[in-house]
Amino acid sequence: MIVYRKQERTINPKQELACMAGMLGGLTAGSSAHHDQAVELLIEYGELESGITDALCPDADFDSHVTRLLRRAGVLSGHIFKTAWEGRTDETGNWTGKMSAAFQELAASDLPGAVCVRVPEGYAHYGLYPETYLEAAMEFLNAEHPEGIACIGARSIGTSLSSVVCAALEASGLTVVSYTVRPRGHPFYRGLVLSTGFEQELCSLKCSHFIVVDEGPGLSGSSICCVAQKLSELGIADSRIVLFPSWNPDGSNFISESARRQWQRHRKYTVSFEKAWLSKGQLKRDLPYGGLLDISAGAWRPLFSGDVSAYPAIHPYHEQRKYLCSEDIPRAVLAIKGGEAIGPAAAAERPAALFVKFAGLGRYGRAKYERALKLAYDGFCPLVSGFAKGFLTTHVVYGRPLTNSGVNAKMLDAFACYLDYVRKTFPVEQEIRFDEIVMMIERNILVGLGGKWPGRLSFLENFRPLVSGSSAVAIDGRMMPHEWLSAGRGYMKMDSVDHHADQFFPGCQDIAWDMAGTIIEFALDREEQAYLLQKYRSFGDRGNMQERLPFYLIAYLAYRMGYATFAANELGTSPDGRKFRALAKRYSTLLCGEVLRFSG
């Protein structure tokens, strides 16, 4: 099934270096935003270094003068980050001066004119904080007392993470040599391709430990483990190879058999977000209230429903960290559960409370914050309290989640108004990729419905001019009933800032995707669909939505069938796994009906 999508962009390296030189100038000692600026520099430079190194080493990794310059600048960004985290901003000038000189030397080097950079998903979507790698490095130092280190980061995100680890080790007085490598091949079966000279260089290093740094392990464990495997193949003892992952599962469920074996052979150092941030009160420093209740991984559902069977299905690994913040958590929980039943007259009895949700580090989180401000200002989403350390803070809205039963004209009016607002407010300069959508439809139908169904899809080509000629929008992407609240006299969308920008299909898309999502998720009948479309058109869209919509109904159903199947397989017999299995059946049944309507 096609569920994920590529997140890449093309940049000019020398232009990016010039922009980052400006970021260095903004790192003023004593600034309240000093840490956030240092984090952004670390992330942005890590993307650039990965992109340039990938371009220089398209087929095999090797060490060169330029890659060494790139790596040294990366480690300097780690030192700037480390001093910011530790509050030693008086040292900033020393490190920024060195990094500025490194930028000048890089700019004078023979760099590619354009490179492709990938979104570091951990920073943008998964709440991966590089501070945890600083803490892990300190635990490693205290436990192992190393003498000389070779630190290897797995590109992409392992580039900046290894810069952090290198900075921590260098600051302790150790000599550290650092490299980055690109795991290649199928996502589940990655491998390394190194030049002969690079392999010989690694074998010749006189160091006590080889450290491998990456975000993983993911489903397969193959990215981080293939680096360790290559080191093992080069004759380096298992006891000298240490892994720095973002978490430490037992590895028994890795898809890659070789990764399962390799994972068990090495020591790992990892520190959780909870230990690095929560136990030390780092997150609370930017919040107005002291109490925090973790409502991540679906733990928010009991706040809005007492019926477990009515909980919407969620995949816990695909949810961002979320917290309820209040001075009086028990009263806040009761107030939210009371919802509309409390009534306006009792509003004064409600304790002050906020929802705190991970939005992304650096510019990834800032873009979502700016979108949230617009939506809140125009009354479509909760009021925004602030954005700091990657977390978006919004006011609690007291209300009840909608369901796909009991739809009325007032609800349809609200949906139409919202879709029109998103279309007008968040246009993007991007082409609609018709072939990419059709590829997803065909693949998911083949896997989900069976071999005879793709042969019925030739009619999709008739939609090419309609779809390709439409405008792209930073859509909502999640028009689910449970993400709407009935609050006061109207309806409010609760989660609308980032699904167009996440790692899943469809990304920025025709607003018809959200129209199709509304129709499917709220189970609108023909009469309700007609009313919704008519109301939407009344706001000024004179395009051919009616003609494009059948294509997007099929596309939406194919994607959601794929996602629900994927989630059901991962979650197994758990309650959410069973819910996703039922959803996959519903989407596949509807999808069959839509395809048969056109193919006969």
pLDDT in tens, 533-548: 999 999 998 889 999 9
Note the pLDDT of residue 265: 96
d(CA 467, CA 234): 52
Note the pLDDT of residue 479: 97
d(CA 541, CA 474): 17
d(CA 287, CA 507): 31
Q: Give percent above pLDDT 70 in the chain.
A: 97
What is the mean predicted confidence (pLDDT) over 364-391? 96
d(CA 494, CA 374): 14
Instruction: Give the CA angle between residues 576, 445, 254 to the nearest 5°.
Output: 50
Neighbour tally for 459: CB within 10 Å: 15
- pLDDT at residue 480 above 90? yes
What is the mean predicted confidence (pLDDT) over 56-85? 96
Note the pLDDT of residue 33: 61
What is the mean predicted confidence (pLDDT) over 420-433? 96
What is the mean predicted confidence (pLDDT) over 57-80? 97
What is the mean predicted confidence (pLDDT) over 398-412? 92
pLDDT band at 92 (very low <50, low <70, confident <90, very high): confident
Note the pLDDT of residue 345: 47
d(CA 316, CA 296): 8
Q: Write down the residue that tokens 């005879």 correspond to.
A: 452
**How many Å separate Cα 334 from the centre of its chain?**
31
Note the pLDDT of residue 166: 98
Across 384-415, b (16+ Cβ under 10 Å) vs e yields bbebbbbbbbbebbbbebbbeeebeeebbbbb
What is the mean predicted confidence (pLDDT) over 58-85? 96
- pLDDT at residue 381 above 90? yes
Q: What is the pLDDT of residues 306-363, one digit of tens each?
A: 889 999 999 998 999 999 999 999 999 998 987 755 455 455 578 889 999 999 999 9
- Highest mean pLDDT: which range of 49-58, 213-222, 328-337: 49-58
Neighbour tally for 284: CB within 10 Å: 16
Note the pLDDT of residue 30: 52
Task: Tell me the domain boundaries of the chain.
Answer: 8-275, 283-395, 401-599
Q: Which two tokens stand for residue 563?
A: 């996602």
What is the mean predicted confidence (pLDDT) over 119-127? 95
Least confident of 104-108, 539-543, 566-570: 539-543
Q: Report which of 180, 270, 259 is spatially closest to residue 226, judged by C-alpha positions.
A: 259
Least confident of 56-70, 483-497, 564-578: 483-497
Instruction: Give the CA angle between residues 88, 93, 99 to the nearest 5°.
Output: 110
Residues 567 and 577 sit within 8 Å (Cβ to Cβ): yes
Decide: helix, strand or coil at residue 405: coil
Q: Report which of 518, 304, 326, 331 is spatially closest to residue 399, judged by C-alpha positions.
A: 304
Q: Please list, in sequence order, all residues whose beta carbon lies within 8 angstroms of the beta carbon of residue 432, skipping any fewer than 6 positions away.
A: 467, 468, 470, 471, 472, 509, 510
What homologous superfamily does CATH list for 401-599? Aminoglycoside phosphotransferase (APH), C-terminal lobe (3.90.1200.10)
Q: Measured between alpha carbons, how far apart are the two ends of the chain, in Å?
A: 25
pLDDT band at 488 (very low <50, low <70, confident <90, very high): confident
d(CA 36, CA 391): 12
Note the pLDDT of residue 340: 59
What is the mean predicted confidence (pLDDT) over 75-93? 91
Q: Write down the residue that tokens 């009619």 correspond to.
A: 459
How is the beta sheet containing 209-213 ordered, strand by strand? Answer: 176-181, 149-154, 209-213, 241-244, 267-268
What is the mean predicted confidence (pLDDT) over 165-173? 97
Q: Give percent above pLDDT 90 in the chain.
A: 86
- Return mean pLDDT, the chain: 94
d(CA 488, CA 480): 20
Note the pLDDT of residue 90: 82
